[in-house]
Amino acid sequence: MKKAVFKLDINGDKAKQKAMKAVSGIQGVASVSMDMAEKKLTLTGDIDPVHVAGKLRKCCHTQIVSVGPAKEEEKKASSEETAIKVFETYPLHYYQARAPYYVTSMEENPNSCVIC
């Protein structure tokens, strides 16, 4: 996961909407946030910052401010306990289908006359 910050030269909500639409369609983007006061766009996910900058330059002037790893939240010890409980499995009871038992009858003389 990468975190990339871009500085955009945009004015107004329409330009913001165009930039957000161009970036949100890129594969690997996990989250998009925009700070209109500083005119910075922050992306997190498995992205290529050069490819994203190329997409953004079609709608406005773009500069790459920073690229780095995204900060991950600290996991608690209780999550390890729940992970262990998730893997507890119980054997399933499967229905055992039985094969049908065929009964055949045989006569001594199969070509005998029925009338006799």
Which pLDDT score, from 0 to 100, does residue 102 have? 82
Q: 88-105: per-residue pLDDT in tens? A: 556 666 777 888 888 777
Which pLDDT score, from 0 to 100, does residue 98 have? 82
Alpha-carbon span 16 to 11, nearest angstrom: 8
Domains of the chain (ranges plus CATH)? 2-69 (3.30.70.100)
Closest Cα to residue 44, out of 56, 54, 32, 34? 32
Could you tell me where the beta strands, DSSP code E, fall in 1-116? 2-9, 29-35, 40-45, 61-69
Q: 47-100: per-residue pLDDT in tens? A: 999 999 999 999 889 999 999 998 766 555 555 555 555 555 566 667 778 888
Alpha-carbon span 89 to 114, nearest angstrom: 64
